[in-house]
Structure 1
């Protein structure tokens, strides 16, 4: 039996689809049915499921705006959730946990492209420090539980994921779902799309279906920290150009007084390539699929 925490989000949904495709037996836990900050309830539920493998996807996640506004909740909630799941994995005698992390854990001063060995080198970027420190702490906990209890783990360090079933918050969301929501609204109303920063920042975006394929491959054949990314970067302005062309919206205003965040994030994917993984979905294809899904699902979308 496989357990997926955070089954209702962008990555959790894509992971379920991949497990379905592989005809795997699994159970999901979402925040609607269980508060993972509750240690006793979490341990009881995981022991009841008795999973062989846990894919721990759940967590409190925001974009740049939300990270800046809610750092205390971002840190505390994620530390509690991660601690409780790792404790529960041991209590349930789980064989392996695949615990999802984020490229925000890396220092902005880490050598590029960033390798997994740089995870403890310097502080994470100030704009995401609270969330990043919670994820770093999870790695320390996993290493301690591995040493003392023999818990096997993988620690996928995820680049920016996007796709259907994301949280499309135009203010506090991640960049792509935020932009999709803004362009959809502008298409309906004719209003201007306002975008933070200059568009010069470069990111490595991975489509949710590709990310899910990578996680299953990691669950089957890798242990320890591993970057999950495409190995290629694009400027935010390129993302905007694709969404403009696909949506037919032309009125865009850049607010250069708002932060860009880190200007460059690129990652070494040698470990991921070493287990035979290659992404299949291009940025243009993924953006068009995401926008079309949002348009067809609206207003029944998460925001």
Structure 2
């Protein structure tokens, strides 16, 4: 246990979501004085009055802002305005209310989707402003990036101490498996499992398989967020990742192996690949607060598959882009 957390009252917005649950699990090991992780039913943070009430009623020393409305490529294409506006409002309100309340420490978690569509690999934090994000991710990515601008402006004008972190693609137990909100790994696991059960000889996958992604196990991400909360004080954004890039074609093969699917893969090239490549430079996180991911991908993938098989009803229960606050 780190002494930093011993007497801290901690608020985790989005604490009932995928990443939020992982952060709360790791945080519980540090035994904070009090941890609050409310749901959207309690406080709709897109309403400034609700954000004000939450800060006034909980009086936290530390706020970790994870609340978001999220989805995969499908949700990004179908509901871009919702994803933009609700994420922008939630972040704006939380940051402003933390400023007004004089919150000791604020951590805002952004997204890798904020990077330009064509960014030199591995993505360096200095590349954030060199171009426009991939169009299917842009509304969400820009809404989150605006929160970095707000944090830096508040630091310059008011001295507010807030930090901004950008995890790469997350996966792990507790992920969302409903088709309307799932990202690539849960979507592929579900597809392969159902093909095995139905005796199908093939599965269909969006895109060409040539795009690449980097995947960070959710508990590693949680650990990185808490390390940064404790040790980082800077104004610059920081990537959280593994610095390991994987083509989607290779990912599909690994998921099929774990799920026991031996049929063929048919690529639907009429569907988008999304951003061509994703892999982040993790040097800043390592140097500034000692974070390095530790979970081997195949181990994390198997854990995710096993959790899904044991919790299918829960995993598939959410049918729209998740909003947790």
Smaller-chain TM-score bracket: over 0.9
| 1-structure distance, mates of 2:303, 2:42 | 29
In the superposition, the TM-score normalised over structure 2's length comes to: 0.89
Gaps of 5+ in 1: none
Q: After alignment, is 173-182 or 229-238 more displaced?
A: 173-182
| 1-structure distance, mates of 2:173, 2:160 | 33
2:26 paired with 1:18: yes
| 1-structure distance, mates of 2:38, 2:188 | 28
> CA deviation digits over 1:238-289, x for unaligned, max 9?
2211221111122332212211112211211111111221111111111110
In the superposition, the TM-score normalised over structure 1's length comes to: 0.95
> CA deviation digits over 1:146-166, x for unaligned, max 9?
222221111101110111222
Matches within 5 A, 1:179-258: 179-191=188-200, 192-222=202-232, 223-224=234-235, 225-251=237-263, 252-258=265-271
Q: 1:172: Cα distance to partner?
A: 4.2
Tell me, yes or no, if the aligned pair for 2:243 and 2:280 is still in contact at 8 Å. yes
Gaps of 5+ in 2: 1-8, 319-325
**Alpha-carbon distance change, 171 to 40 in structure 1, aligned in 2, over 3 angstroms:** closer
Tell me, yes or no, if the aligned pair for 2:206 and 2:272 is still in contact at 8 Å. yes
> CA deviation digits over 1:133-188, x for unaligned, max 9?
10111111111222222211111011101112222132442111221222232233
2:291 paired with 1:282: no
**Two-structure CA RMSD over aligned residues (Å):** 1.5
| 1-structure distance, mates of 2:80, 2:153 | 26
- The alignment partner of 2:313 has SS state of coil
2:143 paired with 1:134: yes
Which protein, 1 or 2, shows the higher relative CO under an 8 Å CA cutoff with sep ≥ 6?
A: 2
> CA deviation digits over 1:216-240, x for unaligned, max 9?
1111111331001101111112221
Give the match for residue 147 of structure 1.
156
Count of aligned pairs between the two proteins: 303
